[in-house]
Structure 1
C-alpha cells in the first residue's frame, strides 16, 4: 500500500530546515489571499478569513496564517487537497476556529516534487446555512428599537461604508452617554436546528461599545445579554461573534441583536456598524 507522508504545522512555513530528515522534496500549495462569494440573499461578501486549514488526502497538514506556503510530502502520483476557512472567534486572535457555515474547497493535483501551485480560493456559504439579514442600512435603519427609552439618540444612515452606499452611525454625545438599541428583526429560536449561531458584522468606532442580544420568552421580560465589548477601531473591521451560549437557555424563545454601552461613559464619539447578519443551521 502506498504511504502518505504529512508535515504538521500550526504557523506559517518559513524555513527549509523544517524538512530536514526527509529524503523527498515537497510540493507547495501557495495561498496568498482568499475571497467570499455571496448571492443576492446572503448580503455583501464581507469576510475576515485570516487562516486556512489544509488537508492532504484527508489528513490535516495544519493551520496556516495567510499568506501561506504549505509544504506537502507525497509519494502517490496524485494528491487531493482540501482547504477549510478559519476565522478568529469573537475577534480573539488566540481563538482560531474553522467557520462551520463556509464550504470547504477541494482540489486534485498530480504530485510534482519542488513545484509550487498557486491557489486563490473563493469560499461560499454552505447550502444548509441559514442566513438571516439583520441590517445593511441600504434601505432603512433596522436597529431602531429603543431599549434605553431614549428617542433622542439612535442610529442613522451614513455614507461611510466599505460595501454598498450606507452604513449605520450612532453618535454618543455628552448629554446622551448611555444607549441600548435593538434590531427590529427578532429571530425565533425554534427555527434553529441547534443552538449554534453567529452574528457577523462590520464595524469601526471611536469609543468602545457592547454587542449582544435581547432575549425573550413566554412569561419573562425582555432581557439584555452582552457577549463582547469592542474596543475603538479606526478602520472597518469584520468580526464573527458566537452567540450560541447566550441563546441556549431553555426558556429563551427568541432574540434580537443588541448594541449598547454596558456602563455609562463620559466619552463622546461615533460608532459605525454595517452588514449585520445572523447565521445558523
Structure 2
C-alpha cells in the first residue's frame, strides 16, 4: 500500500473516532480531500508519462527515374513529405530533410505515401513538395522499436510537358541575345555535353535565352525551370514577356555561385499566371560582370521548362 493510500485510510479512521468533535471536523475533511487530490494527481502523472513506443522508417536517399523524353535523371530532392493511410484516411506525418529516420505510431501492415521535397528557387527557407514528381507509394510491415529502410524511386508525372536543352543533339533550342558580348560553346566532359561561357577582357554581359513559349498555362498552374549549373559569379534567371505593344523584362531570381554542379528548381508559376494577355514568353540567363579584374564564367546543362 502506498504512503498516500495509508494516509487516506488513517484519516478515515480519525474521522470515525473524532466524529463528535465538531471543532475539528472541517479541518479533517479539508485534509482528507487534499490527500485524495494528491493521489489522483499522482496517478494522472504516471499515466501521462507512459509513452507509446513508435515504429520507424529510415530514408537514406532517393532516386529519380526518367525516360528519353524527360531528359536527365539528375535531381536535387532535399526533403521527404511523409503520409500514411490510417482508417481509410491519408494523414500527413511531417516533412523531413534527408537522410531521415521517422517515428510512426503504427504497427503491422501500413501503406506509406512519400512526396519529393525541394528548395523552391534554391532557398532553404522555402521548402515545398515538387509538383512534377509523382507520389511514391509503398506497403511496409512496421514493428515497434524497429527500423524499416525505404528507398523511394520518384518519376515525373505523366501529364507534364517538357522543353529540354541538354546540348546532346544537333543545334540548340537556346541562343545568345543582342545584349550578350559573347557566345557560349558546347564542351564535353566524361561523355556529357554542356554549355560554357566566360567573360574576360572588356566583355561585361553574357545573356542566353530560350525560344518563345506561347499559351503557357495560367490561373496558378505550376510552371518551373530546372537548371544544372556551376559558376564563379552571380547570375539572373528571368523572362521576357511579349505583349501586343510592349516587352516586359521580369527578373525572377538571383542565383549564387557554386563551384560544383548544382541543380536549382525555379518557380515561374506566379510570373506566368500574372502575365495576362501576353502573346509569348521566353526565359533567359544573364551574367553582368561587376569586377573587370577577374574573369566571370558559367557552365550549365539540362535546362528544362516544365508545365
TM superposition score category, shorter chain reference: 0.7 to 0.9
8 Å Cα contact 2:131/2:222 also seen in 1: no
Matched, 1:31 2:31: no
Flag as ranges the 4+ runs of structure 1 deviating above 3 A. 20-23, 190-195, 262-265
Equivalence for 1:53: 81
Matched, 1:188 2:220: no
Q: Secondary structure at the match of 2:110?
A: strand
Matched, 1:244 2:269: yes
Equivalence for 1:226: 251
Q: What is the deviation of 1:44? A: 0.6
- With over 3 angstroms needed to count, the CA separation of the structure-2 counterparts of 1:105 and 1:97, relative to structure 1, is same
TM-score (norm 2): 0.76
Equivalence for 1:8: none
Q: 1 CA distance for matches of 2:298 and 2:143?
A: 51
What is the RMSD of the two structures over their aligned residues, measured on CA atoms? 2.1
Correspondence 1:92-131 to 2 at 5 A = 92-131=123-162
- Which one scores higher on RCO, CA 8 angstroms, separation ≥ 6? 1
Equivalent residue for 2:287, pick from 261, 273, 278: 261
Equivalence for 1:9: none
TM-score (norm 1): 0.83
Correspondence 1:85-96 to 2 at 5 A = 85-96=116-127
8 Å Cα contact 1:141/1:168 also seen in 2: no
Deviations 1:147-199 (A, max 9, x none): 31x4x5011102247xx52111111113111232212x222125668542010
Larger helix fraction of residues: 2
Deviations 1:213-257 (A, max 9, x none): 121232323x32211111211000000001122222213232112
Structure 2 unaligned regions, length at least 5? 1-47
Q: What is the deviation of 1:25? A: 2.0
Equivalent residue for 1:212, pick from 216, 232, 238: 238
Q: 1 CA distance for matches of 2:140 and 2:149?
A: 12
Equivalence for 2:195: 168
Q: 1 CA distance for matches of 2:252 and 2:291?
A: 19
- With over 3 angstroms needed to count, the CA separation of the structure-2 counterparts of 1:65 and 1:190, relative to structure 1, is closer
Equivalence for 2:94: 62
- With over 3 angstroms needed to count, the CA separation of the structure-2 counterparts of 1:72 and 1:22, relative to structure 1, is farther
Q: Secondary structure at the match of 1:166?
A: strand
Q: What is the deviation of 1:24? A: 2.8
Equivalence for 2:227: 201
Equivalence for 1:4: none
Q: 1 CA distance for matches of 2:106 and 2:245?
A: 61
- With over 3 angstroms needed to count, the CA separation of the structure-2 counterparts of 1:21 and 1:86, relative to structure 1, is farther
Q: Secondary structure at the match of 2:74?
A: coil
Which stretch of the first structure deviates more once superposed, 174-183 or 93-102?
A: 174-183
Q: 2 CA distance for matches of 1:218 and 1:188?
A: 13
Q: 2 CA distance for matches of 1:177 and 1:260?
A: 11
Quick check: which has more Rg, 1 or 2?
A: 2
